[in-house]
Chains A and B, each alone.
Chain A
Amino acid sequence: MMPIRRDKNGEPLDETDAALQAWALAWNQMLDTGAKAIKSNSFLADTKQSDVEIATTPADTVFQIDKVRVLHYHALTKKKANTPPVLICYGLFGRQTMIDLQEDRSLVRNFLNDGIDVYVVDWGNPTRADQYLTFDDYIDLYLGSCVEHVVEANGGKPITLFGICEGGTFAAALAALRPELFAGLALAITPIDFHGEQDEFWRGEGFLNSWIGNLDEDDVDLLIDTYGMLPGAMTGAVFSSLTPIASMTKYNIGLAAMDGNEPAMLNFLRMEKWIADRPDHPGEAARQWLNELYRENRLANGAFQVLGETVDLSKINCPVLNIYAEQDHIIPVSCSKALGKFVKPKLYEEIGFPGGHVGVFVSRKAQGVVAGGITDWLNRTQDNKPKKTKAKL
């Protein structure tokens, strides 16, 4: 019920005055929004693609196998952490540039500033020529070879592997198959149990799991057989539909709300640039991802195989840090936390980030919680510094 409107002296307004007041308020709000939209549009008109830069932290390619490269980042400080090098492995549904989106929101820079030696896997740009690559290739051959290279660069000593999203699933599988290579395993927003605890899903959670679970094996096969790849445009459209109103309003209400604010607009455009650069997922690997993992949940059921060898997650034998996002609309919390059922409790730690899937890397809050949390975990569990023993008095 609308409260009775009153004038400055607290006297009730008559109906005509009330209508005029409402009309004036509506016009003011609409004009205000219009003015903001004009400022944002004007900023867009003056901005070129080249003004929107992402992944600018300098790095060299130190290893390559087929299209897959390992990037080694230049040190940004003289400080050197006493922890093993960290190799970061993103998934195939997006690019690794997410972890170095902009200078003040860069996981890579945060690590470098803490003196950590950082390597990153770049999966390249898969085309139909790569459609027959399977998880055997991605986990054992490609990721395995990248890890071997960094281990070799580390003088043959084990390293820390940090897997993100699908890359986290690859990392967990490799750590279970070849535990001798790893001093630590960090995962972020990584699905392990692809069915999750469906009774615990909140309203926007678990759509991917339900939608893919509703498909038949034949539907997935028809899709992959027809396209050869899982098109990036298709996965992008699916991801957008997970947050329908946010997707519908980002280019109108969202842009107007930014009021032409340069930092906010540039943050938005960098994110758009990253989203637009969504690669196609190699077909056979996508078939496995959808059928073997999402539909059949083979990893959590102990039936997932790489090169004929079953992946037993309980064989992970290094400290594990598992980071999940509490409002993740892509990977449900329970799908990530399931790793805790497999790893020995004394080796296992979790960080629940109060944000969404991508927010784990790009939000301001994440810079402290996630990057800081990983550095802290590295220092506590993998400090290589020789321990000083106190002389007995």
Chain B
Amino acid sequence: MANSDNGFDQMMDIWKEGQDAFLKAQQEAAENFQKTMTPFFEQSGNSPDEPFQAWQDFIKSWAPDWDPSAMIKGPSAAMFTQSREAFMTMLDPANWTKYAPEQLREILQSVAQGPQFADLATPHIDAANSWREALDYQKAAADLSKVLQESWTRTYLRFNETHSLEDLQSGNVQEALDVWLKSANHELLETQRSAEFMDAQKRMLRASVEIKARQRDLAEAWSEAYQIPTRSEIDDLTKIVHELRRELRQVKRELSSAKAKSKK
């Protein structure tokens, strides 16, 4: 970005950055579409179903819950509901994050890093940051969940090794349960010690605290708007009182020590 003190230039730059990000996203979407459709266009003698299948796959990559076949089954209530829900799903930004998180994260990052202006509000920066944090939290939660899910899968395999189908056929449910819990405890403890788990846990902690910090910022803005003392203001006062009390105690301590010395 050009380094200019001119406010108009800066506005033009940020607008240009936004445009670039938008066009880049459009371009990537078009490329994905093209890649998906290429097999049909390149091959001759395709069956009539293939273009529909390719199109269906593409749509499903963005809205997996959508059932395109509902559209050709006739005008029924189910078709209307499903298609409507699927369409709304595609419009809901929260759902975009599930399917192209890294791309979206990059776009949000670029928006969040835009400049701030003295006389222009920049709500898009806050919005981009909030969204990016929500995205990070979603990813961190999914990563941690994956690590734990894998642990449960290993538990199942371990249980299968130590407890055969014949054992289960014995009807001894209590014994099977004991073996299952023992296996699960073993695997979960092993997982909790692994670097993979600890890193996922760390990212999860960081992401969830960032969300909490953002909530605090919103609460601060709200409190300020309604003339209510903010958390930061109360914390500042608490700190001042704490430091004053500490100083007072120190002075008292020095005084009593001086008195004791003078008595001697």
Q: Interface size bucket, B side?
A: 35 or more
Q: In the complex, are the beta carbons of A128 and B170 less than 8 A apart?
A: no
Q: In the complex, are the beta carbons of A2 and B205 less than 8 A apart?
A: no
Q: In the complex, are the beta carbons of A25 and B238 less than 8 A apart?
A: no
Q: In the complex, are the beta carbons of B171 and A22 less than 8 A apart?
A: yes
Contact of A22 among B170, B177, B188, B213 (CB under 8 A): B170
Q: How far is the CB of A225 from chain B (nearest CB, A)?
A: 8
Per-residue CB contact flags for chain B residues 14-51 toward chain A (1 = under 8 Å, else 0) read 00000000000000000000000000000000000000
Q: In the complex, are the beta carbons of B184 and A226 less than 8 A apart?
A: no
Q: Which chain A residues lie closer than 8 Å to B124 at the CB level?
A: none
Task: Please tell me if B92 contacts chain A, counting CB pairs below 8 Å.
Answer: no
Contact of B171 among A26, A132, A204, A210 (CB under 8 A): A26
Per-residue CB contact flags for chain A residues 218-256 toward chain B (1 = under 8 Å, else 0) read 010011011110000000000001001110010001000
Which listed segment binds A: B54-62, B77-85, B98-106, B194-202?
A: B194-202
Contact of B164 among A2, A5, A22, A223 (CB under 8 A): A2
> Which B residue's beta carbon lies closest to that of A21?
B171
Contact of B170 among A25, A129, A225, A246 (CB under 8 A): A25
Q: In the complex, are the beta carbons of B188 and A2 less than 8 A apart?
A: no
Task: Please tell me if B216 contacts chain A, counting CB pairs below 8 Å.
Answer: yes
Q: In the complex, are the beta carbons of A2 and B166 less than 8 A apart?
A: yes
Contact of A214 among B173, B198, B249 (CB under 8 A): B198
Q: Which chain A residues lie closer than 8 Å to B158 at the CB level?
A: none
Q: In the complex, are the beta carbons of B238 and A129 less than 8 A apart?
A: yes
Q: Which chain B residues lie closer than 8 Å to A244 at the CB level?
A: 184-185, 188-189, 192
A203-B190 contact in complex given A29-B172, A131-B235, C-beta closer than 8 Å? yes
Bound-state CA distance A225–B232 (Å) is 11
Task: Please tell me if B210 contacts chain A, counting CB pairs below 8 Å.
Answer: yes
Q: Which chain B residues lie closer than 8 Å to A137 at the CB level?
A: 246
Q: In the complex, are the beta carbons of B173 and A30 less than 8 A apart?
A: yes
Q: Which chain A residues lie closer than 8 Å to B167 at the CB level?
A: 2
> Which A residue's beta carbon lies closest to that of B237?
A129
Bound-state CA distance A121–B137 (Å) is 40
Bound-state CA distance A88–B243 (Å) is 29
Task: Please tell me if A274 contacts chain B, counting CB pairs below 8 Å.
Answer: no
- Interface of chain B residues 209 through 246 with chain A (CB within 8 A): 209-210, 212-213, 216, 231, 234-235, 238-239, 242-243, 246
Bound-state CA distance A312–B189 (Å) is 36
Contact of A245 among B185, B202, B231 (CB under 8 A): B185
- Interface of chain A residues 189 through 223 with chain B (CB within 8 A): 203-204, 207, 210-211, 214-215, 219, 222-223
Bound-state CA distance A137–B243 (Å) is 11
> Which A residue's beta carbon lies closest to that of B245?
A66
Q: In the complex, are the beta carbons of A222 and B193 less than 8 A apart?
A: no
Task: Please tell me if A52 contacts chain B, counting CB pairs below 8 Å.
Answer: no
Q: In the complex, are the beta carbons of B205 and A219 less than 8 A apart?
A: yes
Bound-state CA distance A2–B165 (Å) is 9
Main SS at interface, chain A: helix
Q: In the complex, are the beta carbons of A226 and B198 less than 8 A apart?
A: no
> Which A residue's beta carbon lies closest to that of B195?
A214
Q: How far is the CB of A220 from chain B (nearest CB, A)?
A: 10
Task: Please tell me if B181 contacts chain A, counting CB pairs below 8 Å.
Answer: yes
Q: In the complex, are the beta carbons of B171 and A226 less than 8 A apart?
A: no
Contact of A25 among B171, B231, B235 (CB under 8 A): B171
Contact of A226 among B177, B213, B249 (CB under 8 A): B213
Q: How far is the CB of A342 from chain B (nearest CB, A)?
A: 28
- Interface of chain A residues 238 through 297 with chain B (CB within 8 A): 241, 244-246, 249, 253
Q: How far is the CB of B139 from chain A (nearest CB, A)?
A: 17
Q: Which chain B residues lie closer than 8 Å to A24 at the CB level?
A: 171
Q: How far is the CB of B82 from chain A (nearest CB, A)?
A: 37
Task: Please tell me if A347 contacts chain B, counting CB pairs below 8 Å.
Answer: no
Task: Please tell me if B3 contacts chain A, counting CB pairs below 8 Å.
Answer: no
Q: In the complex, are the beta carbons of B238 and A132 less than 8 A apart?
A: yes
Q: Which chain A residues lie closer than 8 Å to B239 at the CB level?
A: 132
Q: How far is the CB of A240 from chain B (nearest CB, A)?
A: 12
Task: Please tell me if B113 contacts chain A, counting CB pairs below 8 Å.
Answer: no
Contact of B188 among A131, A215, A222, A245 (CB under 8 A): A245
Task: Please tell me if A133 contacts chain B, counting CB pairs below 8 Å.
Answer: yes
Q: How far is the CB of A325 from chain B (nearest CB, A)?
A: 18
Q: In the complex, are the beta carbons of A210 and B198 less than 8 A apart?
A: yes
Task: Please tell me if A141 contacts chain B, counting CB pairs below 8 Å.
Answer: yes
Task: Please tell me if A23 contacts chain B, counting CB pairs below 8 Å.
Answer: yes
> Which A residue's beta carbon lies closest to that of B177?
A253
Q: In the complex, are the beta carbons of A1 and B190 less than 8 A apart?
A: no
A26-B173 contact in complex given A129-B238, A203-B190, A219-B206, C-beta closer than 8 Å? yes
Bound-state CA distance A245–B189 (Å) is 9
Task: Please tell me if B186 contacts chain A, counting CB pairs below 8 Å.
Answer: yes
Task: Please tell me if B169 contacts chain A, counting CB pairs below 8 Å.
Answer: yes
Bound-state CA distance A1–B199 (Å) is 41
Bound-state CA distance A226–B231 (Å) is 11
Q: Which chain A residues lie closer than 8 Å to B231 at the CB level?
A: 228
A1-B202 contact in complex given A29-B174, A244-B185, C-beta closer than 8 Å? no
Q: How far is the CB of A211 from chain B (nearest CB, A)?
A: 6
Q: Which chain A residues lie closer than 8 Å to B212 at the CB level?
A: 226-227
Q: In the complex, are the beta carbons of B181 and A2 less than 8 A apart?
A: no
Q: How far is the CB of B166 from chain A (nearest CB, A)?
A: 4
Q: Which chain B residues lie closer than 8 Å to A1 at the CB level?
A: 164, 166
> Which A residue's beta carbon lies closest to that of B172?
A25
Contact of B193 among A26, A207, A227, A245 (CB under 8 A): A207
Q: Which chain B residues lie closer than 8 Å to A2 at the CB level?
A: 164, 166-167, 169-170
**A-B pairs with lowest CB-CB distance, top 9:** A22-B171, A25-B171, A2-B166, A26-B171, A245-B185, A132-B242, A244-B188, A214-B198, A226-B213
Interface residues of A (CB under 8 A from B): 1-2, 5, 18-19, 21-26, 29-30, 33, 128-129, 131-133, 137, 141, 203-204, 207, 210-211, 214-215, 219, 222-223, 225-228, 241, 244-246, 249, 253
Contacts A26-B171, A26-B172 aside, 13 further interface pairs with beta carbons under 8 A come to: A2-B164, A23-B171, A25-B172, A25-B173, A29-B172, A33-B174, A131-B238, A137-B246, A214-B202, A222-B209, A227-B209, A227-B212, A249-B181
